[in-house]
Amino acid sequence: MDKKINVAVFFGGVSGEHEVSLVSGNSIIQELKKNDKYNVIEIGIGKSGKWFLGDQVLETLKTGKEPETDESVFFSLDPAEKGLVVIKNSENKKELIKVDVIFPVLHGTNGEDGTIQGLFRLSNIPYVGCNVPSSALAMDKILSKRIFASNGLNVVPDIFFTRKDWKENQEDIIKKCEEIGYNLFIKPANTGSSVGITKAHNREELKEGIELASKYDFMVQVEKSIDNAREIEVAILGNDRPKASVAGEIAPSGEFYDYAAKYEDGQSLTIVPARITDKQMKDIQEKAVKAFISLGCRGLSRVDFLMDPKTDEIYLNEINTLPGFTSISMYPKLWEASGIKYGKLLENVINLAFEEFDEKHKNSTNFQSKNDWYKKG
Ligand SMILES: Nc1ncnc2c1ncn2[C@@H]1O[C@H](COP(=O)(O)OP(=O)(O)O)[C@@H](O)[C@H]1O
Ligand SMILES: [Mg+2]
């Protein structure tokens, strides 16, 4: 039999979505372990940023606390050795665990925003999903919206400002927001899982919402609300020729799809396929692929739309480059409904990581100067 592929699954992370990532990560690990092509290396990242080899970090789901660690153990990814280096100072020992591919199952800050992708890129190891710039752009609700709009994708009107702007020019900002008109959504520029997001129906709630959002990010976005929006989501898979799944629909339990509606109250419904016409389905799938390409996404993403129930107008809301990934999360569900089962989907995204890595290695990093100017001093 061929040698097994060593897949290092990273999960947890320093993010408001730590717990969500633990659940997604655990689900992926259990599925990969069933596949004898793979040898799974579990790397949990605690809320503090500490790395744990194995699944101890899952204890956090039960205890709410990060497990104890041996302070004398250090981890790093080594580009020369292509693997995880474990240094145990107490035993004066250095161990190398070969890694063929990294599967980051990290949501939100520090995991989905291009930062850890930078570390993976420097480590010279293939990794699943979006690269540094596309991860960073998709995470940034202000920048991504501008790219979507410049590619002809319909987005709701918004304004943005910094925490400092808010402290110094409250009246101006309120005026600009009210020119858009209530109701308004207030969002930190870079969070996920609806953390720090509120809906304002009046000036009082607008001010409170901006104060809250600016706790999570120094950049804040305020945008027009599509009241009672239908939430339509499409899963994308691929590198240069991305494919769209059937679209699905979320019916949130509350006024909007906030953190409680997403994870806590268990009352939100996912409807696959979405209750739309064939024509609307095709249109949304095309828009989803266009959005994925416009940010330069790779491997996988879930593209989320808002549909105005009064007019059926479609707005592109956001791209999630590492969407929820338990077997019953929307991304795998959409692929399941499109003919790709969970296990096969994981194989697909891993294969795409290898393909992307090989493609990147066609880039030359050598340039031979004709006259060796630098030797002249
Ligand atoms: N402009 C809007 N109009 C109506 N609902 C919105 C709007 N923006 C966000 N929402 C609601 O808030 C939820 C979270 O917003 P979103 O931009 O998707 O942030 P996150 O990255 O945290 O998922 C959406 O799923 C939707 O329910
Ligand atoms: Mg969202």
Q: What confidence tens digit (pLDDT) does each residue in 9-51 have?
A: 999 999 888 999 999 999 999 999 999 999 999 999 999 999 9
* pLDDT confidence band for 1 (50 / 70 / 90): low
On whether both 177 and 244 belong to a single domain, the answer is no
On whether both 286 and 320 belong to a single domain, the answer is yes
User: Is position 211 within any domain?
Assistant: yes
Does the pLDDT value for residue 333 go beyond 60? yes
User: Is position 376 within any domain?
Assistant: no
Domain boundary among 171, 198, 224: 224
Query: CATH number of the domain that 198 lies in?
Result: 3.30.1490.20
226 Cβ inside 6 Å of ligand 1: yes
On whether both 242 and 216 belong to a single domain, the answer is no
Global pTM reads 0.94
- What's 136's DSSP letter? H
Range of the domain at 236: 230-360
Lowest-confidence pick of 113-117, 152-156, 329-333, 361-365: 361-365
On whether both 68 and 176 belong to a single domain, the answer is no
Q: How far apart are CA 5 and CA 16, in angstroms?
A: 31
Share of the chain above pLDDT 90, in %: 74
Q: How far apart are CA 15 and CA 108, in angstroms?
A: 6
Lowest-confidence pick of 47-56, 138-147, 256-265: 256-265
Q: What is the pLDDT of residue 63?
A: 86
Q: Share the mean pLDDT of the chain.
A: 93
223 Cβ inside 6 Å of ligand 1: yes
Query: Looking at the 3D structure of the chain, how many domains does it have?
Result: 3
Q: CA nearest 193: which of 62, 45, 304?
A: 304
Pairing of strands 101-105, 198-200: unpaired
Domain boundary among 224, 254, 274: 224
Residue of 135, 141, 154, 194 to test ligand 1 pocket, by largest number of atoms within 8 Å of CB: 194
Query: CATH number of the domain that 94 lies in?
Result: 3.40.50.20
Q: What confidence tens digit (pLDDT) does each residue in 199-246 have?
A: 999 999 999 999 999 999 999 999 999 999 999 999 999 999 999 999
Residue of 140, 185, 193, 226 to test ligand 1 pocket, by largest number of atoms within 8 Å of CB: 185
On whether both 323 and 272 belong to a single domain, the answer is yes
Residue of 197, 222, 318 to test ligand 1 pocket, by largest number of atoms within 8 Å of CB: 197
* pLDDT confidence band for 366 (50 / 70 / 90): confident
Q: What confidence tens digit (pLDDT) does each residue in 163-199 have?
A: 999 999 999 999 999 999 999 999 999 877 788 999 9
Please give the average per-residue pLDDT across 73-82, as a whole number.
88
195 C-alpha to ligand 1 centroid (Å) = 10
Q: What is the pLDDT of residue 203?
A: 98
Task: Dump strand ranges (E) for 184-298.
Answer: 184-188, 198-200, 219-224, 230-238, 243-251, 269-271
Q: Half-sphere exposure of residue 279, counting CA atoms within 13 Å on the CB side?
A: 1
Taking CA atoms only, the protein residue closest to ligand 1 atom 6 is 225
Domain boundary among 205, 224, 243: 224
323 C-alpha to ligand 2 centroid (Å) = 9
Does the pLDDT value for residue 291 go beyond 60? yes
